[in-house]
Amino acid sequence: MSLLVAALFAVLYALIVIVGSLLGVGSFLVYGLLAIGLMAVQFLIGPKIVEWTMHVRYVSAKEEPDLYRMVTDLAKRAKLPLPRVGISPSPIPNAFAFGRWQSDGRVCVTKGIRDLLSPDELRAVLGHELSHIRHRDVAIITTISVIPTIAWYIAYGSLFSRDNRSGSAAVGMAAFGIYFLTNLLVLYASRIREYYADRGSVRLGEKPHHLASALYKLTYGSARLPKAELKHAEGVKAFFASNPSRAAREFSELRSLDADLSGTIDPAELSALRDRRLRLTGSDRLLELFSTHPNMVKRIATLSGYAT
């Protein structure tokens, strides 16, 4: 992750040099300030957008004692301020964490996930979500997302402006290439944070096979939903514990992990995956390249490395 952030800021430095030498530093500052301003607004109003999109209703310990108890215990273990606990009526089985900073943390579960997971599996997923808050993932991804945003504005402004100065088109093409590259790097960073949150759940005391089984069930639950339901949450799926858009494809890959066809992944099945060689197709790897979440088979295989 450190190397990735260093690479992103090295690309940003190269972009400053290119734009500054060909169009002037002033042009870069205009686009840079515009991108930073928009990202700051998004960061500030983002929680409200998520709440509105997912129809989040915050609950008290009296209303939801079991859910509240899980979140409270995990927050204490993670040494975090108690986040607000919410419920979404969405049938998509998932959970998500959001908020501007640790003291503004919010954890939400959908109706779909509560109907699908056992208490141990739900707790493991909540451990994953609280780890996102603990690791400040929203702030990190928002910060590095400024870089492709700056490149996009420079590319658009240079290619479609009426400025005929020499080098304007070259800057636009270079900026567009940098936008594409840095966007892929930001997606890669997001996938790294998902692995890190999975490990965070295990470090909070949750069993790897409970999280693996939960991810398996979430994939199955999303795969059987109509596409219209999945489309409703398209804009916030980056916050989810799993990517519902890829569920149908990934479930066909995951079925072989459930050797006894019990609908769960038990410790023995997870341990068996540790010695198994993964075979992913080129299309699987390509889909992962453009996704905020890792390939689910790879993700569960990583969890098998934490199993004892």
pLDDT tens across 276-302, in order?
Answer: 777 777 788 888 888 999 989 899 999
Predicted confidence (pLDDT) at residue 269 exceeds the cutoff of 90: no
The pairing of beta strand 106-110 with beta strand 95-98: antiparallel
Rounded Cα–Cα distance for residues 194 and 271 (Å): 21
Rounded Cα–Cα distance for residues 96 and 92 (Å): 12
Predicted confidence (pLDDT) at residue 132 exceeds the cutoff of 80: yes
Predicted confidence (pLDDT) at residue 247 exceeds the cutoff of 90: no
- Per-residue b/e over 255-268, b at no fewer than 16 CB within 10 Å? eebbeeeeebbbbe
Active site residues: 129
Number of other CB atoms surrounding residue 307 within 10 Å: 18
Q: Are 89 and 217 in contact (CB under 8 A)?
A: no
Rounded Cα–Cα distance for residues 185 and 176 (Å): 14
